[in-house]
Amino acid sequence: MTALERLEKRLAELQIIAKKSLGQNFLVSDGVINKILDAVADESPQKVLEIGPGCGALTDLLAEKYKDLTLIELDRHLAEFWRQQNLNVIEGDALRMDWSFGSSYLLVSNLPYQISSSLVIERSMDDSQLQAMVLMFQKEVAQRIRAMPQTEHYGMLSVIAQEFWQISTVCDAGSREFKPAPKVSSRVLKFLPRTSEIQNKAEYLAFVKACFQQRRRVLSTNLAALNQQYDKSKFKDWLEQNKKSDKVRAEELSVKEIANLYHFLKMK
């Protein structure tokens, strides 16, 4: 049975339609589904966690392969349906739950577009990171996550994601590969934990946010807002040592350079 046939059968069974308020666009491309499943299988996970199983484009096939599968579903009707399939379901908002349990899990999801950036940032902040993540994003968000310095998409999201994860592209998905078809294209990314020298992640996030606070302003202006944890008087020394202009902007610095600046300015 194809993914589209499975969806049509499930929609009729549940007597539901996709809810725009929950960002529901159901994946119906067997090709994309198989690439996602292959990316998951490559990590040989013992425990799999899926956000937003919806009508089961991924869930049905994940359940066949992985005995320890947990679902996070916001829609009450769908959450109850998956419980009836004898699956472990956490009913609620993925952005408002305690993720302390998640370190041994591989996370997979066709993410609702409205939570995707926030979810990447929050999972980057976890003390103990997930085994891996295979996530689908709106293509523009995926471009921001993997963007390089001095490009239009590079920013705070790029820096945080790349500091804490090794990221690769799994595949693209056009609007026709969903039902209903969204107005944007999508891209699947794979995240593997990356060793970082950052000890206080929340503090570092605040530092990076400050760097990009006003994107078009020079970095020295944005850094002026930093608190007394940082010795801003050392910024000129850092510029000289790294051969940077005093007009440099945050978007011109690499992920490594921003981390280096953080450590350089932070008071011991």
pLDDT in tens, 162-175: 999 999 999 999 99
In this prediction, residue 215 carries a pLDDT of 84
Number of structural domains (the chain) is 2
Residue length of the chain: 268
DSSP state of 233: G
Average pLDDT over residues 233-254: 97
Q: Which of helix, strand or coil describes residue 144?
A: helix
Tokens of 135: 């996530």
Q: 171 and 56 in one domain?
A: yes
Q: Is 110 helix (H, G, I), strand (E, B) or coil?
A: strand
| Residues 180, 92 share a domain | yes
Asked which of 154, 170, 193 is the last residue of a domain, the reply is: 193
CB distance 37 to 61 below 8 Å: yes
> Looking at the structure, do residues 80 and 178 belong to the same domain, yes or no?
yes
- For residue 26, the enclosing domain spans 3-193
Q: What percent of the chain has pLDDT over 70?
A: 97
Q: Which residue, of 193, 214, 235, is where some domain finishes?
A: 193
Same domain, 163 and 230: no
Q: What does DSSP assign to residue 201? A: H
Residues 6 or more apart whose Cβ sits within 8 Å of residue 22: 52, 74, 75, 112
Say which CATH number the domain at 222 has: 1.10.8.100
Same domain, 154 and 207: no
240 lies in the same domain as 172: no
Domain end position, chosen among 159, 174, 193: 193
Q: Which residues are part of a known binding site? A: 25, 27, 52, 73, 93, 110
Residues 87 and 205 both lie in one domain: no
CATH of the domain at 151: 3.40.50.150
Binding site feature residues for S-adenosyl-L-methionine:
25, 27, 52, 73, 93, 110
Cβ neighbours, 10 Å, residue 62: 22
Q: Is residue 42 located within the same domain as residue 156?
A: yes
CA–centroid distance for 97 within its chain: 16
Residues 231 and 144 in one domain: no
Pair 60, 131 in one domain: yes
Q: What are the pLDDT digits (tens) for 113-171?
A: 889 999 999 999 999 899 999 999 999 999 999 999 999 999 999 999 999 999 999 99
Cα torsion angle, 170, 172, 176, 179, sign? positive
Express each pLDDT in 246-263 by its tens digit. 999 999 999 999 999 999
Burial of 257 (0-12, 13-18, 19+ CB in 10 A): middle
| Residue 268, pLDDT above cutoff 80 | no
**What is the C-alpha radius of gyration for the chain, rounded to an integer number of angstroms?**
21
Q: Are residues 120 and 87 in the same domain?
A: yes
Prediction pTM value: 0.94
In this structure, the answer to whether residues 9 and 40 fall within a common structural domain is yes
